[in-house]
Amino acid sequence: MSLDRYSTEMSSLFSEEYKYKTWAEVEIALLKAYVRLGIFKEDDVDFQELEKAKEELDPARVKEIEKEINHDLMAVVKALNEKAPKSGKYLHVGATSYDIEDTATALIFKKAFELILKELDNTLSLLKEKAKKFENVICIGRTHGQHAIPTTYGMKFALYYQDFMRCKQRIIHAKERILVGKMSGAVGTMAGFFGKGIEIEQEVMKELGLNYAKISTQVVQRDVHAEAVFLLTLISCNAEKFAKEIRNLQRTEIGEVLEMFEEKQVGSSTMPHKRNPHKAERICSLAKLIRANMSIALENIALEHERDLTNSANERFLFAQQFILTHYVLKEVNKILKNMKIYEQKGLENLWLTKGLIFAERVMLELTKRGMNRQEAHEVVRKIAQNCYESKAEFKKLLSENAIVSKYLNNKDLEQIFDAYNYLGNHKEIIKRALED
């Protein structure tokens, strides 16, 4: 199955061609380490020839060789050797396949996370802009799907800002652990590196700009890769959280938000009036797949002895899917943020759907402030609220007619209590604090 539908610039990093060239880059870095440490003579190696061979590496030729020998890494080595016969005979000395492949994976992850961070920065910029713009645009807060008390759209966007900021921080903090290569041989002892294994590994990773695994078996340990997969999973989960809110607020019955349609966009093949939140729904759909991939990454951790191949086949799909789909999901989030419409008037209408019941907490607190027992105040207000539910009467009217409440609150007091703009707490300070980098 192709990922073309969800392709971004991330896709090129996980192409076969790019993988082969990255393997070649690691092979050349290993040979450079041998030369620098004096194990092979500089005159015997032509690095210009090798670099040219790397750039001209033909994926079709690699595939031909692989069909003959049934080993993709050695197919790359042989293809390089064909193009650079003088130097090619020194390639892959002492190394095992995953010295090359795991180190190349770290290089690909390095560039892939750069793209993720770039897109995350776009997300953060858009969320900050929205949080400031809608700081005081009031709406009803909902808990358990029910109307709670007033909040603002600025609060919503500032919350998502922090969600994605934590995603960014996690990647930055985890890079030291994730961007690691190895050059340690068949079981991790470096036995094949002429007694210079430590120096060779350090030289290779310095050349490539990676950290080295302080100990490994035939592979970099898979909890390292599982952490990378987990970071992407968290991004997708936060994207889904945002997208679910868009979907719910776009419901016909709520109608506070609209995921904007393009001029010629079709919502339904049979219902011409439909304006479905298709981007938000797509985010939620792909988040399920990204989340499911996490279990595969965790299963790959417990390899047998110094390694087995039970991780190898699934990782050919796992890493590409995880990075490409997460990158695509972030881009969809950003498209929604750029073009979405908020219907402020509809938000105000929804605020009063329950005929003032959303101010029950404030009434209870004001009664307590004026001397009433808090538990008694809660019970009095609760009973009046239940009556309001049943009778569909205005909550403020029922409060004004209640003898107990009237001992503490007059009509003027109730007018002030039922001003939604005066019951937003410290929302401005909270938003400001949330947007601090």
Model confidence pLDDT, tens digit, residues 29-88: 999 999 999 999 999 999 999 999 999 999 999 999 999 999 999 999 999 999 999 888
267 has a pLDDT exceeding 80: no
User: What pLDDT band is residue 266 in, cutting at 50, 70 and 90?
Assistant: low
Structure tokens at 78: 């042989």
Write the CB contacts of 273 (distance below 8 Å, at least 6 apart in sequence): 267
Catalytic, 305? Answer no
Domain identity same for 169 and 197: yes
pLDDT digits (tens, 9 = 90+) for 291-311: 999 999 999 999 999 999 999
- Is the same domain home to 230 and 284? yes
Give yes or no: 144 in active site: yes
Look at residues 257, 286, 281 and name the one whose alpha carbon lies nearest to residue 268: 281
Marked catalytic residue, from 7, 15, 125, 268: 268
242 and 331 housed in the same domain: yes
Decide if pLDDT at 355 tops 80: yes
Tokens of 153: 């759209």
Q: Which of 2, 144, 269, 273 is catalytic?
A: 144
Task: Look at residue 55 in the predicted model and tell me its pLDDT.
Answer: 95
Report how many helices (DSSP H) and strands (DSSP E) the chain contains, helices first.
18, 6
Q: Are residues 105 and 251 in the same domain?
A: yes
Give the pLDDT score at 190.
Answer: 97
Determine phi and psi for 340, rounding to 5 degrees.
-65, 155
Q: Are residues 181 and 307 in the same domain?
A: yes
Asked if the structure places residue 240 within a domain, the reply is yes
User: Does 435 map to a domain?
Assistant: no
Average the pLDDT over 120-140 and give the result.
Answer: 98
Shared domain check, 372 and 241: no
Last residue of a domain, one of 58, 93, 128: 93
Instruction: Please determine, for residue 263, whether its predicted confidence score (pLDDT) is greater than 70.
Output: no
Q: Which domain holds residue 111?
A: 97-258+273-353
Instruction: Point out the domain boundary residue: 32, 59, 93.
Output: 93
Residue in 277, 429, 339 with CA at minimum distance from that of residue 126 = 339
Write out the H or E segment, with its range, that includes residue 322: helix 312-339
What predicted TM-score, i.e. pTM, was given to this entire model? 0.94
Residue pair 408/367 in contact by the 8 Å Cβ criterion: yes
What is the residue-averaged pLDDT of the chain? Answer: 95
